[in-house]
Amino acid sequence: MSLGIAVLEFGWLLLITSAALIFLPTLPAHWPAGGELAWMALPSACSCTLSYYYNDLYNPGIVKSFRDFCARLPQALLLAAILLAVYFLGASALGRAASPLSYAAIGALFAIAVSVPLRWTAYAIMANPPFSERVLILGTGPLAFSIAKEIRSTADVRHKIVGALNDGEGSPGELRLSGRHALLLGSLDELKQTALEFRPHRIIVALTERRRRLPVQELLNQRLQGLVIEDGIEAYERIAGKLAVESLRPSAVIFSKDFHKSRWQVGVRRALSAIVAAIGLILTAPLMALIAVLIKLDSRGPVLFRQERIGMGGRHFWLFKFRTMVPAAEATSEWERDNLGRITRVGCWLRKFRLDELPQLVNILRGEMNLIGPRPHPVTNYNLFTEKIPYYSLRAILRPGMTGWAQTRFGYANNLEEELEKMRFDLYYIKNMSIWLDLRILLDTVRFILFGQESSNVAEQDLRATTTV
């Protein structure tokens, strides 16, 4: 939904703004006319689209309804108006546009006139077939629970769960759908009657043990009648944007072509990363010099922090970062939560806006990292993660990245459970690596740099601790 809405809104904003400007009954004398005026609508459409993106108006996990969209719209329009005013301020100085503030206001009004009815229509359509599907889950075990949880939290616009069939695994009462306990519709033997009564569009097979329990013949019958039969692991990946590593079968990894990357893919990614790193070092040199001065003025210790990390193929390398903590007198935990007291004043801001990562541009030029990929873990944690996290060694297929899917989706990890969650995102990236996914990661990274982001769940946990005291 997010990509389709973004394209539609951008196209309609561009078209309607162009038409309105061209056919407006009265235009200021100093405004250009005709086709040149239509091109002035392009900044309006771009500003609104960027503003919507950075305010999560294209994120179905956050903006789940038309009401959610309207609640976030004023803030997004304010940012769009500011972007337009800045742009047309420069154009006005060149004598090619009207008042920047008036044009920004017109652009915001056009955005409201286009976006609000378009979104209302989109949410009304998405709530009905074929965009919104009635889903029946086979199973009540951990995988079924995870799928139901993801549907409820991030994808309820696209999916409506009608219930689940009990396979005798797990605790059925743990499945919560639409804010209540799961509606158990019967056992696996009652699949035919359940499908006739509730008429689902999609059946998600999330059974813990398939060999003995899978109703093969009835699933084939339902498939022939037009129902979509989907594997639970694939459904979880599609809905959540991560892999269910606990339920992932070894054969699915060993025989999957998605985890094998061609030399062409690796070579292109390496070349692009090196080019971007070289340009980035040149452009950010003044900023990095300023950061170095601030670090020295703020606390004692070196400007740069280096740590031995695990790279591609399990090779060790030294990762560089700006120092954000007071040097420790002895060995400490690697988890951020255990080191909050050591973070300096400058370090707090550097970590929030991810500016402490800038020296890793040097690691990219040296061939130890790429611009995008799984984050390299410290050598000290390697044995623990290899033992406790399924398929952990697969991260070494690619060069580690300065930013990545797990970093933009989750942030910092503070315990083994959170590292496992990040591993789900890392494996998803490795399996689905593409130019479009890399572009999305870069856009999200730019958003974090511009607006900042709290690390992981530390802030939320601190807030809960404060409110419960």
Q: Summarize pLDDT for 238-295 with one digit per residue, the tens.
A: 888 899 888 888 877 877 888 877 888 888 889 999 999 999 999 999 999 999 999 9
* Fold classified for 133-240: Rossmann fold (3.40.50)
Q: Summarize pLDDT for 47-88 with one digit per residue, the tens.
A: 888 888 888 888 776 777 788 888 888 888 888 878 877 777
pLDDT band at 454 (very low <50, low <70, confident <90, very high): very low
Q: What percent of the chain has pLDDT over 70?
A: 77
Q: Summarize pLDDT for 380-413 with one digit per residue, the tens.
A: 888 889 998 989 988 888 999 999 999 888 877 8
Ordered by start, the domain boundaries in the chain are: 2-126, 133-240, 263-468
- Give me the mean pLDDT over the 16-39 stretch: 56
pLDDT band at 361 (very low <50, low <70, confident <90, very high): very high
- Give me the mean pLDDT over the 206-210 stretch: 78
**pLDDT score recorded for residue 169:** 57
**pLDDT score recorded for residue 231:** 92
With helix as H, strand as E and coil as C, how does the chain read? CHHHHHHHHHHHHHHHHHHHHHHCCCCCCCCCCCHHHHHCHHHHHHHHHHHHHHCCCCCCCCCCCHHHHHHHHHHHHHHHHHHHHHHHHHHHHCCCCCCHHHHHHHHHHHHHHHHHHHHHHHHHHHCCCCCCEEEEEECCCHHHHHHHHHHHHHCCCCEEEEEEEECCCCCHHHCEECCEECCEEEEHHHHHHHHHHHCCCEEEECCCCHHHHCCHHHHHHHHHCCCEEEEHHHHHHHHHCCCCCCCCCHHHHHCCCCCCCCHHHHHHHHHHHHHHHHHHHHHHHHHHHHHHHHHHHHCCCCCEEEEEEECHHHCEEEEEEECCECCCCCCCCCCHHHHHHHECHHHHHHHHCCHHHCCHHHHHHCCCCEEECCCCCEHHHHHHHHHHCCCHHHHHHCCCEEECHHHHHCCCCCCHHHHHHHHHHHHHHHHHCCHHHHHHHHHHHHHHHHHCCCCCCHHHHHHHHHHHC
